[in-house]
A and B are shown apart, each in its own frame.
Chain A
Amino acid sequence: MAAAGQFMFVRRLGPAARLIIWIVLGLACVVLDTRYHALEGLRSGLSVLLQPVRETTRAPGEVASELGGFFTRHRTLQKERDALLAEQRRLRAALDTAADVARENVELRAMLQLDGLPGQKAVAASLLYQGHDWFAQRITLDRGARAGLREGLPVVDGAGLVGQVMRVYPGTSEVMLVSNSEQLTPVYVERTGQRGLAAGSGQGRMELRYMPTHTDVRPGDRLLTSGIDRIYPSGIPVARVLRVTRPQAGPYLRIECAPLAGIDRARSVLVMTSVTGDDAR
């Protein structure tokens, strides 16, 4: 029985009706956001609110990794030092040649009256947050518009191209990884110079699309950015070809590649803020 002061029949919407209202509201949000980009204000508001929180919650992890680094074994350090010394000797030899070539290049460019290569400025940023989502080929960095980042800038790490800055907030920015299926990267095959288009295929992998079946692509080939899109500078390593299969139907090869950059493990990356001078984006 209903208690005193209560209606026997509640005069409010039933749960199913309320559910439908909220679902319609949610779908309206999706449409407003994806179609009309009407909710960017809410997004930057949330980013301003949550950035200090993220910075703070990152502290325990950093302390842990500092402690882990402190207790690295002596033997490991020695081995690493030997490897670094060897590499330094090698690099020093290469550096002499490079300096020579650079000097020659400057002279030649002066003769041709071309602009000098714009200095590639880079902003170091570290990973702030990584999504946990069906389509989560995105990461959040701890640098944003205040550090001079803009939408469309390329992001690299020591090994290769990580992705492209997709959204910029005052203090943070979102990067779409090269393995995102919405992300297309113009590349060329290092061995043959054949140009192509690499796209993410999800699960941290990539594929080289629209290569005719007679193309010379072999497993192990490296793909570098071709730079024809004027967004990425040319020559950044992107991926290595894993497998090439010839489908029965369709005129194109199926080429699976693995990104070279540690897109799922890089903690610190570089955002190249000045790419091709004035005409970058």
Chain B
Amino acid sequence: MSTNERNPVGVGRIAGSLTLAVLLEQMSWSGWALALRPDFVLVALLFWALYQPLRVGFGVAFALGLIADFQDGVAFGQYATAYVIGVYLVQFLRLRLLQFDPLRQAAQVFPILLAVQVVVLLVGWLSINPPGGLEILLVVPSSVALWFLVAGFLRLWHGKSLRDTA
């Protein structure tokens, strides 16, 4: 792959920058500064996920997300899920992102950051208005059974056996 993976940056530098990001977010921001405050942790996380994918992956994202969940006093898992998805998107687009200069990279990171916020919103909705019961998932096994019955019946209808003999 690229040279970055073969010459990993020290763990100290990665941990240090992520800690700094968490500290920055701990400051008591308010007013417009709060509204405009970037998500330092997410930016640092995605940066390292881009340049050090072997060191910073889903596990780190999940842990940092739990801290963010605590900070905002929301349900645990809200930011954790969103950060994990952000890291996945960066990994998915990694080769593409690495080809661009910082300006274009930033433009391409925009939809990723937007997607992360949308996931935070969706999971937040789930936590505020949790669905009634998990019985709704029972439709999955019953549909699977129906699939088996229909497909099997059609094969028998056409004179084949239920199992592939070949």
Seen from chain A, the residues whose Cβ lies within 8 Å of a Cβ on chain B are 15-16, 18-19, 22-23, 25-35, 39, 42-43, 46-47, 50, 53-54, 57-58, 60-61, 127-136, 138, 140, 166-167, 174, 182, 264-265, 267
Contact = CB atoms under 8 A, between A and B. Distances in A.
**How many B residues touch the partner, as a band?**
35 or more
A134 B75 CA distance: 12
Contacts, number: 127
Secondary structure call for the B interface: helix
A28 B75 CA distance: 11
A207 to B, nearest CB: 17
B85 A23 contact: yes
Given A33-B77, A50-B70, A267-B30, 4 more contacts: A22-B58, A22-B84, A29-B80, A30-B127
A33 B79 CA distance: 13
Interface centre among A19, A127, A174, A264 (most CB of B within 10 A): A19
B55 to A, nearest CB: 15
A31 B130 contact: yes
A132 B31 CA distance: 11
Given A18-B58, A26-B65, A130-B29, A135 B81 contact: no
Contacts of B128: 135, 182
B26 A57 contact: yes
Contacts of B47: none
A19 B27 contact: no
A52 B8 CA distance: 32
B31 A264 contact: yes
A269 to B, nearest CB: 13
Contacts of B114: none
B127 A131 contact: no
B30 A265 contact: yes
Contacts of B62: 22, 25-26
A23 B124 contact: no
21 contacts: A15-B88, A15-B91, A19-B58, A23-B81, A23-B85, A29-B77, A30-B76, A30-B78, A33-B75, A34-B127, A35-B130, A42-B66, A129-B28, A130-B28, A131-B72, A132-B34, A132-B37, A133-B124, A134-B121, A135-B74, A138-B72
Contacts of A54: 26, 28
A181 to B, nearest CB: 8
Given A43-B70, A57-B23, A132-B72, A30 B28 contact: no
B14 interface: no
Interface string B115-136: 0010011011011101000000
B81 A26 contact: yes
Contacts of B121: 134
A29 B120 contact: no
Given A134-B120, A134-B121, A134-B124, A27 B26 contact: no
